[in-house]
Structure 1
Amino acid sequence: MSNSDLYNQDFVLWTDLNCQQLKTRNFDELDIENLIEEIATLGRTDKREIQSGLKVLMEHLLKRQYVNSEPDYRGWEKTINEQREQINLLLSESPSLKPYLESVFSDCYRYPLFVVSKDYPSTCFPQDCPFTSDILDQD
């Protein structure tokens, strides 16, 4: 079975094999096309995690700041702290994601606004994003 066929048949074995070939510098046997795709996917995954984390963070910040439901505050604050931690961890591991975060920041607001507006129709939420990227380090 060829290396590229192995990619579709047994991904873990494919990664082990290609890792071993890299370690032994056996570059002629590498599955270059699929390696390129996998490396590109890693970057896209981190970008998706940034967007997802921002959306959850914004949603819970909106709830905490605008919804009067004291019994829920602790849970919302816990989620806020967890999302901040996860986003900051991603940024510390890949500082080049910071400009990406800045570029998608405002766009990420639409979905949390939609969710909280639907869940709390009697609450008035700001239509424009009231947050800046400093929400990652605020209490």
Structure 2
Amino acid sequence: MTNLQSNTLYDQDFHQWIEQTIVCLKSGDLQALDRINLIEEMDALGKREKRELENRLITLFEHALKRQYVPLEDCYRGWDVTIRRTQKDILKILRDSPSLKPYLQNIFLDCYQEALENMQLEYDVSFPESYPFPTEFDQLLTQSLSHSE
């Protein structure tokens, strides 16, 4: 990092940089904007949304796998609660950013694979290698993912 970069408001006080950026945007003072850092922050914000969606989907699959294939009845209620909460969290993300729905369709099998690998490390249980959950996302995010007893 050069001395010039370390002397910018962005590097010295991020919160104040945000406030100043908002003032510039609201007033239309585009010349005063720190465009380079604003672009980087906007890009990072979009990436964080995608990572959040991925992490929630992995959590959903991990708990659904545990609920269906790990015979620990004392844990079922906790896993069911986590499944339902995670479904709601994913729905909120998609409500706020509906343009992420196609991204969800592109990553769900990779997320399942990661969840599967995590569960295979954690439990000595046979989990299905092929994806066992609904492929219709409305069902995946609203229906119970536990076995019908």
The TM-score, its normalising length taken from structure 1, stands at 0.93
Count of residue pairs brought into register by the alignment:
137
Q: Distance in 2 between matches of 1:120 and 1:34?
A: 44
Distance 1:130 1:24 in 2: 53
Q: Does 1:61 align with 2:64?
A: yes
Residues 39-118 of structure 1 correspond to what in structure 2 (within 5 A)?
39-118=42-121
SS of equivalent residue, structure 2 residue 87: helix
Q: Distance in 1 between matches of 2:114 and 2:27?
A: 47
**Backbone CA RMSD of aligned residues:** 1.6
CA distance in 1, matches of 2:59, 2:30: 42
Q: Which residue of 1 aligns with 2:25?
A: 22
CA distance in 2, matches of 1:93, 1:118: 34
What TM-score do you get using the length of structure 2 for normalisation? 0.87
Quote the offset at 1:137 in angstroms. Answer: 1.4
Segments of structure 2 that go 5 or more residues without pairing to the other structure are 145-149
> How big is the shift at 1:118?
1.9
- Unaligned stretches of 5+ residues in structure 1: none
Separation (CA, whole Å) in 2 of partners of 1:43 and 1:119: 31
Deviation at 1:130, TM superposition (A): 1.4
